[in-house]
Chains A and B, each alone.
Chain A
Amino acid sequence: MSVLEAIAQQRQSAKYRIFQIIKNWKIDISIRMLIILLFMAISIFPFFYMLSLSFQPVGDILTFPPVLIPNKPTAVNYIQAWQENDFATYFINSMIVSFGTVIGTLIFSVLTAYGFARYKFRGREFLFYLFLASLVVPGILLVIPQYLLMKDFGLLNSRRGLVLLYISSNLAFSIFLLRSFFESVPKELEEAMRMDGVSELGILVRLILPLSMSSLATVAIFTFNGAWDEFVLAYTMITSAGKRTLPMGLALFLGEHTLAWGQFFAASVIATLPIVLVFIVSQKWFQQGISIGAFK
């Protein structure tokens, strides 16, 4: 039979008819929206719940059924959390370590990635894939070797040591990310710069970096997040109370002082604020980067 006849016959079948009905009801789209909203709710809920609990007095927190919107919101948890246990110190320590990590990672990964991107040397690809391969190793496995290494350097129980460890664990990914971006900068731009009389380092600083803002912002966010949240290495390396970072400080709420939930939640919320701030600032960087790179 001809094509037209075949199509006509198909149109008669019941299956096709039902399919058409469903399509017209737009069930498809609404199911998708529903699923998205569901996942959103699941993701946000823990944070929202924690936020709500942080504003409730201790007594209310453990009631059942759980209360989502506090009846008598109070800031007492926040005040107590900040004042007790040298929380401010931990906060500052985390800031120092995290910003140090971001700066160090940016400097080293930019220079290394530029080297990989622009200079040909023997063993370049091998070295690069070696860096990438290191990403396969789970961080936990390296805790003991890293501990021994820091011991040999005399950097145990120091924030400097922590910063070095964090930088080294972030390098591989950052280099990978930056190299591909650097390679996407058209060579003619660099040549134009050379003709204008710019040195190689100048080309990096004046051309590549401004154009890489979005990638740099990505590296900054990932690095900051990783450093701010890091618990295992910090817990292993830092032994004196004055040098503790925030994750360790948070853990204390649940360890030494039996389950101070309210303060714990308040402290956790405080702990998320710098990340949110960094994210917002990096977003601007990121967007700037995208609009700068829009013309190529």
Chain B
Amino acid sequence: MATVDFVGVTKAFSGHVAVKALNLHIDDGEFMVLVGPSGCGKTTTLRILAGLEEPTEGDILIDSVKVNGVPPRSRDIAMVFQSYALYPHMTAYDNMAFGLRMRKVPGHEIAKRVEDVASLLGLRMLLQRKPRQLSGGERQRVALGRAIVRKPRAFLLDEPLSNLDAKLRVQTRIELQRLHRSLNATFIYVTHDQVEAMTMGDRIAVMNDGHLEQVDTPKELYDHPRTLFVASFIGSPSMNLIRAKVLERATVLIGSYHVRLPIPVSQNEVIVGIRPEAFKIGSSDQANLEMRVDIVETLGSDQYVYGLVDGESVVVRTDPMLRVQQGEKIGLIVPSNKVHVFDPSTGRRLN
């Protein structure tokens, strides 16, 4: 179990800076998720921690000990690769035992550990099979088992669910969380899927273009996104972001409608963020905005209505019982305490 620190870590490849001055602290036993779009630097960050890449600048500390330049095998961390990276010419048992054999762990100890982990992951019947004889989910569990058996200080997981089908993904997500609890280990998890991030992480580090945008608990990220990027990235469907002109102090103009802001601002223009579920449907005299319905998506438990408010695209979450039709006009109430305000030039949150 270990704490991890990134101090001013920068990584540049020829012509491209993948990670820019990253400062991040991960607590012992924490489930930290690095999330962001492709190319944001999250995998590179993970690989730097693993020791597969060296930072151009900055320090990596594991348990407050600097590990720059220390080879991967001496860092006592285990990694689960996106493609599992199982050794094709070895059985599942050998795959899991391999790391231990390399570390000269005695044979009976290896057998015990592998058997225990295999039971934990439901692999006991599959130990003599080779990777090509295993299904995707089984391979993934062997890859996990290979990491667990090493009893490392920290687990690094690089998009482990991305190669699984949707149903298996949901199942495995839950199993991983259970695993984290039972192992009580530090997990560092990379994904581009914000749903995975929100459901699994104790804290989430949102990255974009090499920068760390915000690191916070899922709830904080959702309720108080500090930048435009985080606001639009977290939450599905995305938060509605509308550019609006500021009228006297705490009011903005969205299309032809007036909306109150939660705080006064000094800018001339702001970007107003409202989550789809923040709107309430109301009659035209109560409503702040009027939306012309375009598309309705019924998901059974939810309903999403896409439409236009004076030319601005807006999506609203409604009760699935509400019947709306294309072309219809519905009134939307905007509770001002649910409004997020951003500066259009810096992208930073103002409230």
Contact = CB atoms under 8 A, between A and B. Distances in A.
Contact of A189 (B51, B79, B85, B146): B85
Nearest to B132: A295
Contacts of B99: 195-197
Contacts of B50: 191, 195
A193 B78 CA distance: 11
Contact of B85 (A186, A197, A210, A211): A186
* Interface majority SS (helix, strand, loop, mixed), chain A: helix
Nearest to A209: B89
Contacts of B51: 194-195
B102 interface: yes
Given A210-B89, A295-B130, A195 B83 contact: no
Given A195-B78, A196-B99, A188 B73 contact: no
A293 interface: yes
Interface string A183-215: 000101101111111100000000100110000
B52 interface: yes
A191 B132 contact: no
Contact of B88 (A191, A194, A196, A292): A292
Interface residues of B, number: 25
A193 B50 CA distance: 12
Given A295-B131, A295-B132, A194 B52 contact: yes
Interface in A266-296: 292-296
Contacts of B98: 196
B222 interface: no
B103 interface: yes
A188 B88 CA distance: 12
B72 interface: yes
Given A197-B99, A197-B103, A198-B102, A192 B131 contact: no
B348 to A, nearest CB: 38
Interface in B111-141: 130-132
Contacts of A292: 88-89
A198 B79 CA distance: 15
A293 B87 CA distance: 10
Given A194-B52, A195-B50, A196-B73, A296 B88 contact: yes
B79 A211 contact: no
Interface string B78-97: 11011101111100000000
Contacts of B132: 294-295
A192 B52 contact: no
B87 A194 contact: no
B209 to A, nearest CB: 25
A198 B146 CA distance: 15
Nearest to A185: B88
Contacts of A197: 73, 99, 102-103
B89 A195 contact: no
Contacts of A210: 89
A293 to B, nearest CB: 7
A189 B77 CA distance: 17
Contacts of A196: 73, 98-99, 102
Contacts of B103: 197
Interface in A155-169: none
Contacts of A294: 88, 132
A271 B99 CA distance: 48
B71 interface: yes
A295 B84 CA distance: 12
B87 A207 contact: yes
B87 A192 contact: yes
Contact of A295 (B71, B78, B88, B146): B88
Contact of A191 (B52, B78, B102, B146): B52
A186 B86 CA distance: 11
Interface in B223-248: none
Contacts of B52: 191, 194-195
A268 to B, nearest CB: 40
A283 B180 CA distance: 47
A211 B87 CA distance: 9
Contacts of B146: 192
Interface string B162-182: 000000000000000000000
A211 B73 contact: no
Contact of A194 (B71, B83, B86, B89): B71
Contact of B81 (A191, A198, A293, A295): A191
B72 A194 contact: yes
A194 B85 contact: no
B156 to A, nearest CB: 9
A293 B85 contact: no
Interface of A: 186, 188-189, 191-198, 207, 210-211, 292-296
Interface of B: 50-52, 71-73, 77-79, 81-83, 85-89, 98-99, 102-103, 130-132, 146
Those 8 A-B pairs whose CB atoms lie nearest each other, nearest first: A295-B132, A197-B73, A196-B99, A192-B85, A188-B85, A197-B102, A210-B89, A195-B72
29 contacts: A188-B82, A188-B83, A188-B85, A189-B85, A189-B88, A191-B50, A191-B52, A191-B72, A191-B81, A192-B146, A194-B51, A194-B71, A195-B50, A195-B52, A195-B72, A195-B77, A196-B73, A196-B99, A197-B99, A197-B102, A197-B103, A198-B73, A198-B102, A210-B89, A211-B88, A211-B89, A294-B132, A295-B88, A295-B131
